[in-house]
Every structure is written in structure tokens, then in C-alpha cells.
Chains A and B, each alone.
Chain A
Amino acid sequence: MTRYLLRRIGFLALTVLLTSMLVFAVTQLLPGDPARIILGREAGPAALAELRSELGLDRPVPVQYLDWLRGFVTGDWGDSYGTGQEIRPLVTERLGNSLRLAGLTLAVAVPLALLLGVVAAVNAERWPDTLVSVGSLAVVGLPEFVTGLVLIQLFSFQLGWLPANASIPAGTGFLAALPQLILPALTATLVMLAYVARLTRASVLEELQRPYVRTARLKGVRGRSVLFRHVLRNALLPAITVVAISFGWLISGLIVVENVFNYPGLGRLMTFAIDRRDLPLMQSITLVAVLAFALANLVADLLYAALDPRIRLS
């Protein structure tokens, strides 16, 4: 088990290192000279050169990369080209917001999706199954901004229960922010629900066919115990991986949802950085997102190992 854990952590470190190189390389390839972006069209060559040397852009790329990486690791993430602000507090605050939204979404989506998937599988080919399948497909077919706008229309304008704008100010506590989180979380939930539910359904159906289920039934184990003690234990394993992947998407890929609700998450900060060609900001956001994603996968691997003795013991 220790071996397995060490190997996983090794993989994680390697992944993050490689992506950091990739991120750095890609931002180097983007068109546009940062010095010109900062100083504007009117700046003369001397001023540009001076700024480039100040920013260290005249050094060889590998040196710049190592410098940037060292800075990232030691907590000096540099300043934003666009606003001149220090990047780290900006990104960590947005990361906090994204984590809240992701956490709330997963807390709603995962149990709901598993429940729907299991109900559909147990009632395969009967009406609950059809209902879940048709319903979830219909929802997943809609783009996020449509579901988001429908939800706003319904819950904010018609019923007036929840705020349409989720632009929470920095430093708001979780409970205070909760009303603003609900609609974005619901929108994200609807996007991933169908996927996880259908996967769970397929996985439960597959496990139900396995001979060990018959063995359990023929021991006289009650139907519900067969399901909970035997089937789900094995059927939910694939869901773990998918949830971990969804987590990565929730952290950095929620651009549309964040825009619809004006939510200050990492996704919107990223669009901001791209608009401004703010390279240091882009790099930091991407690396933070990759780290979060990699950690989620590590947790998934560990959960997997904890639940599957074949992985744990071999």
C-alpha cells in the first residue's frame, strides 16, 4: 500500500512538472509582446527594451522557466501585467471561490447522480429507468447558459427566492455566500448529473450480472443487502474516477456558468487574463488548476485502492 501511495505521488509530481513546462511553453508561443501590451502602442523601442529587461524577458527561455517555477514554489507568483496587483492573493481568493462552488456542486450532484443511476439500474427497462434516462438526456442536451438563464428566470425573477447575481465580494463567509452559490451550483449539477448517473446505471447493471450476486442471493441475503453490501461496493468504483475528472472541470472549466452568474471564480479570472494577454496570471491560474486536478485524482486513486483489495494488495 505504501508502495502504491509513493508511486501515485511520484506520478502526481511528474504530471505537475510536465504541465508546468507545457504551460510555460504555450504562453511563450502566444502572439504579442508583453512589454508592448503593458506600455501600449505608443511606447518607444528604448522603453520597451528597458521594460523587457526589467521583466526578465530578455533572458533565455529555460532560465525564465526555472525562475518562474522557483517563484511559484516559494510563493512569489509575480505581479499581474494587467493590473499590477500581486498575483497570489488574487488567484488564491478566486480559487477559494471555485472550491466552494465545486464542493457544493459535488455535494449535490454526486449523491443525486448515484441515486438516480442506481434507481435506474435496479428498475432497468421499467418506467423509473426511462424517466431517468430521458430526463437526464434532455437536461444534458441543453447548453449551460440556457439552463442557467432558465434557473435565473424561475428562481430569481419569478419566485424571487435566490439572487441572480452571484458576484460575492472578497472575504464573504461560506454561509453568507450560500444563497448566491445555489443557482450556479445547480446549473453545474445539471451538466454533470446525466453523465455520472448513466455511468452508474451501466456499472450497476454490469455488476448485477456477475456470478457473485447470484451467490449472495442464494445465501438468502436480502435484496437490499445484496445491493448495498455487494453490488454498490464494486459498481461505484468507476464513478470515483469520473467524479475526480469532473472536479477538475468545476475548478477551472466553469467559464460559462461563472459568466452567466457573474461569479468570481478561477474560470472568469482566466478569461480576464487571456483578454489582457496577462502571461504571469495565466500561468499561475493554469498551474493551480492542474494541481487541484492532480490532487483530486490522487484522492480518487487512494479511494479506489481502499475499496478494491486487488489494487491495494498487489
Chain B
Amino acid sequence: MSARTGKAAAATAGSAPRTDRPGAGLDVRGLTVRYGDGPDAPAALRDVDLQVAPGETVGLVGESGSGKTTLALAVLRALPAAGHVDAGSVTLGGDDLLAMDPGGLRELWRHRIKLVPQNPLPSMNPAHTVGHQLAESLAPDRPGRADRTEIDAMLDAVGLADPERIRRSYPFELSGGQQQRVMIAMALLGKPELLVMDEPTTNLDVTTEAAILELVRELVRGSDTAVLYVSHSLGVVSQLCDRVEVLYAGELVECAPVDALYDAPRHPYTVGLLDSVPLLGRTKRDAPLRPIPGRIPDLADLPPGCVFAPRCPAAEEACRAERPALEPAGKDRLVACRRWREIADGDVSARQPAPDGAEEAAPSDGPALRAVGIEKRFETRRGLLDRLRGREAGAVKALRGVDLEVRTGRTLGLVGESGSGKSTLARAVIGLEPASDGTFELLGEPLTRRLERRDREVIRLLQMVFQSSDEALNPHRSVGATLRRPFMRLAGLDRDEADRRVARLLESVNLTAEYATRRPDELSGGEKQRVTVARAFASDPELILFDESVSGLDVSVQASLLNLLDELQRERHASYLFISHDLAVVAHLADDVAVLYLGQVMEAGPAETVLAPPYHPYTEALLAAVPRIDPHVAAARPPLEGEVPSPRDVPVGCPFATRCPRVLGAVCHDEPPPVTVSEDGRHRIRCHIPRDELVELQEPLVEEVAS
């Protein structure tokens, strides 16, 4: 049975209008939560309603600062000490949760409400076995007496094959996917009426995410459990939920059944969110993304009228004057926007204006970077004892003969699950962890392996932007001082000239010159990442490496950063090596794509070729796992099984053979696959299955999307 029909069935059975059956499920009304004391303390949630009926899955979406986590914690009665409910009610099955005493709360937590948290590893006690912690969920007072068979049955139900081994393991001995399955098992052991899931797949690989989502779907289907699913990912929510609530700056702005919300969003914020997400099948060549300008307002300084008005393309004078009421806007829908009727009728557009159509990129004139036969071995540490016993030093091969080419003025997207070697490759290019073998050429010149031995000119030409701008920026140094350095050190400019260039640079990343005096802690996450991008561009580099540089940002921030990267590339003809676990982001930005698995390039070529059949079965599996931002498109096939094997024991044959759904047989396991090349020579696949057979077997997985 497809997930689509399952969800439709659940929708008709469970989707409750907001007013009836006040007793069943979760019912939050008029909830206001403040952090700090006094009536002036900032309210992180204002007058929010939320209903989740038994058997229903409700998604809670919004960017950071929207209040979605505060709402989830308030429902759990687990707000941090500074937070308190100022007004409103929260009931579950008719019982007032806000009135419960500590004893009542314990009973509530034991049997009725369970949480699946975002980060499974820190959410488990490192000093206790997984079995002990599961037992505690069943018998909080005497975990030693918990029923093991029940635990084993639950572990089996969440897809953990060897319950005995899992129970005896400590949390750190499990993989990320296994840890999250354990957390789900822990939650379900209490047979809760309400399951709160707080971004449970956010830090997982796309393939693991797909498997966990499939598991949640299966577990929830046909059960009476009400599920509140908190996520920043519109894709995940569209695949899983019956209804969606959109929060912005602590207020509920839109609430609708999932199909209606995605087909015809009524609130301009929802429209903006959906427009910000890069979709498979809609690339930068079709149209730039439409980010929401500005940033979420400070809770202590909210605008007087509609909270979204300052960023809204449809805002009028009246919107800024008066706060709009949440009003019914169609079947089971609520919208807090004065102009929703005009938006629904198409009389006014709630979409952000499309950024200027980008001019045609200058033609590429050969490779900026060529990697030939790159190998990276990590010697395993050999202690004194091993030496005495004459044990050989082992080596882990993280990269095994990688050939790549980044064209000038173009973007090569590098994808693969964690453990595929993406970041190792980036660190080898930049010289932080020099390659063990093989050559890099920058603009035709061989590149010295070690960063310390590279001359200034090479360092100037080769820059990198890391994932965490917090760690990449010195917190004690102003933005100006950070950006001045490359001008003075690498370009040899004097202080005044450097300052002038810093001002221009800040403008080119859409910040104003006055940002030069600020320190990193005065900036938002998106602004910080702009500064690191500016720093990379300061030395006028030829090639910039981006290692997950837009991951972890809110979608609207990510969208404007992606547009910025594209703009800067055209302007300056810079070349990018862009690493991301997010295939949709890569598909949007990249001109060429390379797919890495266990340190080998499984497939590489122009983006449109890699993202269409024939693909390597691994590429196919990755593409299938990407959650589509469209509730009408269900997950294409069963998600990929298992996890990336350890690079210590790489299979002799095809590295992907152990997980490949299209495995042919012994040949895949025993012989390294050949690399087949397309007629024009630009697309290569490393697979035993001939290209024409792959074409016949495979369907297109990237749908055409209207922009």
C-alpha cells in the first residue's frame, strides 16, 4: 500500500475540525508563553491554538524563532526554567495538563505523552546501556524488573534486527539511525496518547531520514496515537502529516490540511517558505529562489500590526496598523492575514518578487581544478603493545582513486552520505589533510599537497567556507578586522585601501558597510555565513570550496545565500566545489555533480545528466530518498537499507554491492565495476550494469516543476 492512500485514509478518519470533540487528543487554546518575569517579558508564543486528534499527525513548521519548539515543550510540560505559561489551556483527553502536580506529571510522562528528541545521542545517558534506558521507559522505578520480551518486541518493531545486541550496547556504539530508532522505541514503549517528535531526522543522512520517516509512517498508521511533528523541513512534513500549522514569531499564521496548504498556501509567510525551498527539478538555470527578505522580528520589539508585515510583499498600510485575526479560510483552514481572500482569488500575489533574471554565465574555459587518482589513507594508530607484538599498522582508505574536474566559473556539486569521503576530499584539496597519493592541478599547475608548503598566491586562489560560521569566525574580532586581513596579507594592500575594499565586499554580499564595526555575536546565522562568504571572496580566489556551508540555516536564509553564491559566481567567474548532503540544494546550484560512496566516485557528469537515467543505483537511491515538497508525490520506493560500511572493510567488488537494490550477483561482490562513459564523454558511471540496461530499468526521479 502506498503512503499516499494511507495518509488519505488517516486524513478522512482522523482529521478533526478545530472545534468539535474537545475531549479527545491534544487541545491547546490561546496559549501564551513568556520567558522571564513580568508582563513585559518577551512572549515566545502568543495566543496559539493547536489540536491533534487521536490517530492524526500534525506538523508544526516555522523557522528558528517561530516558537515551534516552545510550543512542543509547553505541551510536554517541559519548558526551561525561565519559561512559563502566561495564558491559555492545554488539555489531553480532556485533562488539564497545566494544572498537574509533580505526581500527576510523572504519570502523564510515563503513560500518555512521549517525546522523540532531535539529537538521539546526547539524549541518552552515556553511562547506561541502551537496554537499561529502554527498561526505564517501561518501569521508571525499577528498570531491572522490566519485561525484556516486550523491549525486544519493540526493538524489532522499530527495525532493529538484533535486539539482544542493541540492548547490551552503549549509545555511542550505535549508528545515528540506530540511535534514533532506539529513541522511537523508548517513546512507544509507553504506548502514549500523544507522541511529540522534535525534528527527529534533522541530523541524519537523507537515506536514513527516509528510512526513519517510513518507520514512523508505518507505526502511526492505524494507531490511535496523536502525533505532533515539529520540523523546519517542509518536505518531511508534506510526506508525513495530515495537517500543518505554520508558526511565525510566536504566532499561528496558517493552519490547513496538508494537501490544501501545499497546493494553495494562503498566508504570505507560507508562500515565502515554500518558494524558498530548492526543489529537485527546478534549478538556478530555471529561476533563482525567492527568499523572504529581512529577518524574524525580535520578540522584545514586535511590529504593531501583523508580525509578518515588514517582510510581506502584499502588506498594505492597514496590515501595519492592526494585528489580523486568525479566521476560517475554507474547509478546516485558518489564516491570520487580512488579505487572504485576495490572495486566494489571485487578485494579489503573496509571492516575493523574483530576483533579477541572471545574465548568461560566461563560457567556461577549461578546468579550474583537476583531481587525478586522489587517495587518502589514514594510518590506524599502533601502540607500543602492537609494536612489541609485531602488529602491522592498518590503514583506512578514505579516498580511493578520485578523479574530478571543476570547470572555471562553474559549480561541481559533491554528494554522498556521511562516511562517503566528501569532507576528506575537501580537506585534501585545501591541503589541511594532504592527500596520500594522486595529483591536484589548479589552473593547470600542480598543487603542492600540504597547505603549509603552498605559496601565498595558491592560498589566495583557493579559499574555503565551512559549515559553522560560529566556529569559523573569531568572536573577538570585528567583521571589518576579519575581512581586512586577506586584503592586507594576501593582496598586500594598505589599511585604508583594505577598508574601502571591505565596504565594497560587504555590499556585494548584501550587507551594508556599517557591518564592518560589528562582532560576530551581533549577527544572525545568515549574516555570519555571509561574512564567511565575503572573507572567501576577499582574496579574489579562483576556486572556493563550500563544505555544507548552507546546511543548518533556515530555508529563507539558505535561499538568499544560494542566490548570492550564484550571483557572485557569474559576476566574478569563480569556480565552486560545493559539498552538501542535501541533494535538492546541490541539484539547484550545481552545473556538474559527482556522487561519492566509500571514497570512490560512483557517478559524475553534468547535473542534468546525473539527475536523469541512467544513474548509478546509488544516485538513484539518494534521489528517491529526498523528501518531495509535495504531498501528492509519495516516496518512490522502499528506502535504502543499511548504512555506509566502515572504510576499514571495503568490499572487494563494488563498494555499494552490500546495499545495492539492483545488485546482479556474485560479479558485483567480487569484481570492481568498470567505469562506463557516455557518448559525449562527459558522464561516467561505475557499475556492472550496462548503461542501456540502466536506462530501461530506471524511471526519472526528478519531476519537472513549474517555477
Interface positions of A (Cβ within 8 A of B): 3, 6-7, 10, 210-212, 214-223, 225, 229-230, 233-234, 307-310, 313
Decide: A218 and B125 in contact? CB cutoff 8 A: no
Known: A211-B117, A211-B119. A219 touches B124 (CB 8 A): no
Decide: A219 and B137 in contact? CB cutoff 8 A: yes
Decide: B125 and A309 in contact? CB cutoff 8 A: no
Known: A211-B119, A307-B127. A217 touches B78 (CB 8 A): yes
Chain B residues, CB < 8 A from A220 = 106-111, 140
> Which of A7, A220, A222, A225 has the largest number of chain B CB atoms within 10 A?
A220
Decide: B141 and A309 in contact? CB cutoff 8 A: no
Decide: B123 and A234 in contact? CB cutoff 8 A: no
A14 to chain B, nearest CB (A): 10
Chain A residues, CB < 8 A from B173 = 313
* C-alpha gap A234/B186 in the complex (Å): 21
Q: Which of B108, B119, B126, B384 is in CB contact (< 8 Å) with A10?
A: B384
Decide: A219 and B109 in contact? CB cutoff 8 A: yes
* C-alpha gap A5/B587 in the complex (Å): 51
Decide: A211 and B384 in contact? CB cutoff 8 A: no
Decide: A309 and B123 in contact? CB cutoff 8 A: no
A-contact bits for B150-191, CB 8 A (1 contact / 0 none) = 000000000000000000001011000000000000100010
Residue B136, interface by CB 8 Å: yes
Q: Could you list 16 further interchain pairs (A-B, Cβ under 8 angstroms) beyond the known A222-B140, A309-B126?
A: A10-B384, A210-B122, A211-B122, A212-B122, A212-B124, A218-B109, A219-B190, A220-B111, A221-B140, A221-B141, A225-B141, A233-B125, A308-B127, A309-B127, A309-B172, A310-B172
Known: A215-B117, A313-B173. A233 touches B383 (CB 8 A): no
Decide: B78 and A215 in contact? CB cutoff 8 A: no
B653 to chain A, nearest CB (A): 31
Identify the closest chain A residue to B138 (Cβ).
A219
Decide: A3 and B385 in contact? CB cutoff 8 A: yes
Decide: B140 and A215 in contact? CB cutoff 8 A: no
* C-alpha gap A3/B383 in the complex (Å): 10
Residue B114, interface by CB 8 Å: yes
Chain B residues, CB < 8 A from A223 = 102
> Which of A10, A219, A308 has the largest number of chain B CB atoms within 10 A?
A219
A199 to chain B, nearest CB (A): 19
* C-alpha gap A3/B170 in the complex (Å): 19
Decide: B141 and A7 in contact? CB cutoff 8 A: no
Chain B residues, CB < 8 A from A307 = 127
Decide: B140 and A309 in contact? CB cutoff 8 A: no
Identify the closest chain B residue to A214 (Cβ).
B78
Decide: A222 and B106 in contact? CB cutoff 8 A: yes
Residue B371, interface by CB 8 Å: no
Question: 11 A-B pairs, CB-CB below 8 angstroms?
Answer: A215-B124, A216-B136, A217-B78, A217-B109, A219-B136, A219-B140, A220-B106, A221-B141, A222-B106, A309-B126, A310-B172
Residue B509, interface by CB 8 Å: no
* C-alpha gap A216/B141 in the complex (Å): 11
Residue B50, interface by CB 8 Å: no
| Beta-carbon contacts under 8 Å, B82-130 to A | 102, 106-111, 113-115, 117, 119, 122-129
Decide: B125 and A212 in contact? CB cutoff 8 A: yes
* C-alpha gap A216/B383 in the complex (Å): 39
Decide: B140 and A218 in contact? CB cutoff 8 A: no
Interface positions of B (Cβ within 8 A of A): 76, 78, 102, 106-111, 113-115, 117, 119, 122-129, 133, 136-137, 140-141, 170, 172-173, 186, 190, 383-385
Decide: A313 and B109 in contact? CB cutoff 8 A: no
Known: A211-B122, A212-B122, A308-B126. A7 touches B109 (CB 8 A): no
Chain B residues, CB < 8 A from A234 = 125-127
* C-alpha gap A229/B144 in the complex (Å): 12
Known: A211-B119, A225-B141, A309-B170. A218 touches B76 (CB 8 A): yes
Known: A225-B141, A310-B126. A218 touches B78 (CB 8 A): yes
Identify the closest chain A residue to B118 (Cβ).
A211
Decide: A222 and B170 in contact? CB cutoff 8 A: no
* C-alpha gap A7/B123 in the complex (Å): 32
* C-alpha gap A166/B136 in the complex (Å): 52
Known: A211-B119, A233-B127. A225 touches B140 (CB 8 A): yes
* C-alpha gap A214/B124 in the complex (Å): 9
Q: Which of B76, B113, B125 is in CB contact (< 8 Å) with A230?
A: B125
Known: A219-B136, A221-B136. A6 touches B385 (CB 8 A): yes
**8 closest cross-chain pairs (CB), A and B:** A220-B110, A220-B109, A211-B123, A220-B106, A309-B170, A221-B140, A211-B122, A212-B125
Identify the closest chain A residue to B109 (Cβ).
A220
Chain B residues, CB < 8 A from A6 = 385
Decide: A310 and B170 in contact? CB cutoff 8 A: yes
Chain A residues, CB < 8 A from B136 = 216, 219, 221
Chain B residues, CB < 8 A from A216 = 125, 136
* C-alpha gap A223/B103 in the complex (Å): 11
Decide: A212 and B385 in contact? CB cutoff 8 A: no
* C-alpha gap A185/B120 in the complex (Å): 46
Q: Which of A211, A215, A217, A313 is in CB contact (< 8 Å) with B170?
A: A313
* C-alpha gap A229/B119 in the complex (Å): 21
Q: Which of B115, B124, B126, B170 is in CB contact (< 8 Å) with A218?
A: B115
A6 to chain B, nearest CB (A): 6
Q: Which of B102, B122, B186 is in CB contact (< 8 Å) with A219?
A: B186
Known: A222-B106, A309-B170, A310-B170. A214 touches B123 (CB 8 A): yes
Decide: A7 and B117 in contact? CB cutoff 8 A: no
* C-alpha gap A214/B170 in the complex (Å): 18
* C-alpha gap A124/B184 in the complex (Å): 33
* C-alpha gap A214/B383 in the complex (Å): 39
* C-alpha gap A229/B111 in the complex (Å): 21
Chain A residues, CB < 8 A from B125 = 212, 215-216, 230, 233-234
Chain A residues, CB < 8 A from B114 = 218
Chain A residues, CB < 8 A from B133 = 215
Identify the closest chain B residue to A220 (Cβ).
B110
Chain B residues, CB < 8 A from A3 = 383, 385
Chain B residues, CB < 8 A from A217 = 78, 109
Chain A residues, CB < 8 A from B127 = 233-234, 307-309
B469 to chain A, nearest CB (A): 24
> Which of A221, A223, A230 has the largest number of chain B CB atoms within 10 A?
A221
B255 to chain A, nearest CB (A): 26
Identify the closest chain A residue to B183 (Cβ).
A215
A291 to chain B, nearest CB (A): 22
* C-alpha gap A222/B170 in the complex (Å): 23
* C-alpha gap A170/B190 in the complex (Å): 65
Identify the closest chain A residue to B112 (Cβ).
A220
* C-alpha gap A72/B136 in the complex (Å): 54
Identify the closest chain A residue to B383 (Cβ).
A7
> Which of A3, A212, A308, A310 has the largest number of chain B CB atoms within 10 A?
A212
B127 to chain A, nearest CB (A): 5
Q: Which of B122, B141, B190 is in CB contact (< 8 Å) with A222?
A: B141
Identify the closest chain B residue to A2 (Cβ).
B385
Chain A residues, CB < 8 A from B383 = 3, 7
* C-alpha gap A69/B337 in the complex (Å): 87
Identify the closest chain B residue to A215 (Cβ).
B123
* C-alpha gap A221/B127 in the complex (Å): 17
Identify the closest chain B residue to A6 (Cβ).
B385
Chain B residues, CB < 8 A from A308 = 126-127
Chain A residues, CB < 8 A from B126 = 212, 234, 308-310
* C-alpha gap A233/B186 in the complex (Å): 21
* C-alpha gap A33/B664 in the complex (Å): 86
Known: A218-B114, A219-B186. A212 touches B123 (CB 8 A): yes
* C-alpha gap A229/B115 in the complex (Å): 20
* C-alpha gap A211/B108 in the complex (Å): 19
* C-alpha gap A210/B122 in the complex (Å): 7
A152 to chain B, nearest CB (A): 44
Identify the closest chain A residue to B142 (Cβ).
A225
* C-alpha gap A219/B138 in the complex (Å): 8
B101 to chain A, nearest CB (A): 13
* C-alpha gap A214/B117 in the complex (Å): 10
A88 to chain B, nearest CB (A): 33
